[in-house]
Amino acid sequence: MNSALKDNLLAGKVAFVAGGTSGINLGIAKRFAQLGAKVAVVGRDPEKAQRAALEIGSGALGLSSDVRDYDATRKSMEQAAEAFGPLDIVVSGAAGNFLAPAIGMSANAFKTVVDIDLLGTFNVFRGCYDLLKRPGASLIAITAGQAINPSPLQVHACAAKAGINQVIRVLAMEWGPDVRVNGISPGPIANTEGMKRLAPDPKTQAAHFERIAMRRWGEIEEVAECAAFLSSASAAYISGAILDCDGGSQLGDASRRDLSRGMV
Ligand code: HXC
Ligand code: NAP
């Protein structure tokens, strides 16, 4: 993928990526490091976090804590700030998801996903506030199109991501002008745990492609590029925004553009 972003775009910045030990968020952490930032990534599994740090390179820190636990999350952030200095960039990307009908979902199953995604985002953002380099800090939450467009079998994740969209907007208002708070809403992204869970078989995948304006899934690197842009000085006047990186998925079902099939 060609990037328009300059190599030293984030030089001297410190980034903390919650949920940065795999998938999209790891891709974001790697891109931050390539662009010159010092990076700490956090997940529950300490070995996975260590592996991620090695993969990122550039002296990245791999930490372990659960975003559902405010004190543990705060401690990870303090460790990152002790190692690298005040935080310029914080990404809240930890999430859980599985397909289940509401009727087959226990209250604890619903709560588990809401706690990881929504409470986790509050904990990450609330916890980092006094560790941020201000003014100029950039916070990013990873949300999803399901925040707006309901999706059967994901009542927990849809509700949680909808809540995250409002956390982004409220904190952008409360914490501006010192801190910018934005979201990225990825569409289906290839080679991720998320899409393994949501579209496990080739038939479901083909149906997905058909409906997307760009007729393909996105790449992790394409989402990472959005995070780098939002964290840079080029986005200095962007706050409270939710950037769709979804190939037009949220526009609706693009399979209808084939007139030979008529309107359905
Ligand atoms: C029904 C299920 C279930 C399933 C778990 N539960 N899986 N219920 N169908 N497939 C229930 C359990 O029975 C339990 O309820 C409750 O959920 C908590 O389960 P635990 O296993 O104890 O939870 P925990 O160990 O905390 O693990 C959390 C997890 C797990 C979400 C269940 O899958 C996980 O760690 N996921 C992280 C990785 C991930 O999901 N990545 C994809 C993100 S993709 P009971 O009542 O039995 O106690 C993504 C896409 C976004 O977010 C696009 C859409 C918004
Ligand atoms: P992933 O690989 O499963 O990444 C999830 C990350 O969060 C891992 O690092 C995981 O590490 C960590 N994590 C999970 N629960 C945690 C907890 N309670 N506390 C701390 N860390 C936790 O998922 P992905 O598919 O790349 O998705 C990444 C983000 O993009 C999520 O916010 C997701 O909702 C969003 N998104 C994804 C897609 C997609 O196509 N995949 C589409 C739209 C939005 P541990 O397991 O070690 O904790």
Question: What atom in ligand 2 is closest to the CA of residue 217?
Answer: 40
Query: Which residue's CA lies nearest to atom 28 of ligand 1?
Result: 96
DSSP 32: H
Which ligand is nearest the CA of 149, by number?
Answer: 1
Instruction: Supply 245's token pair.
Output: 């990186």
Average pLDDT over residues 223-242: 98
- For the cut 50, the answer to whether the pLDDT of residue 264 exceeds it is no
Instruction: Supply 144's token pair.
Output: 């999803």
Question: What atom in ligand 2 is closest to the CA of residue 24?
Answer: 26
Q: What's this model's pTM, rounded to 2 decimal places?
A: 0.97
Task: Among 6-15, 81-90, 134-143, 252-261, name the one with the lowest average pLDDT.
Answer: 252-261
CB 194 near ligand 2, within 6 Å: yes
CB 93 near ligand 2, within 6 Å: yes
Read off the pLDDT of residues 16-26 as tens digits, 9 standing for 90 and up: 999 999 999 99
CATH topology of domain 14-261: Rossmann fold (3.40.50)
- For the cut 90, the answer to whether the pLDDT of residue 261 exceeds it is no
Long-range contacts at 44-53 (CB < 8 A, ≥ 24 apart)? 45/21, 48/21, 48/22, 49/21, 51/21, 52/20, 52/21, 52/22, 52/26
Read off the pLDDT of residues 124-133 as tens digits, 9 standing for 90 and up: 999 999 999 9
Average pLDDT over residues 152-177: 98
Listed residue (67, 63, 65) closest to 53, CA to CA: 63
Instruction: Supply 239's token pair.
Output: 């706050």
Sheet holding 38-43, edge to edge: 61-64, 38-43, 14-18, 89-92, 137-142, 179-186, 242-245
Distance 134 CA to ligand 1 centre (A): 36
What percent of the chain clears pLDDT 90, i.e. is strictly above it? 88
Question: What atom in ligand 2 is closest to the CA of residue 146?
Answer: 43
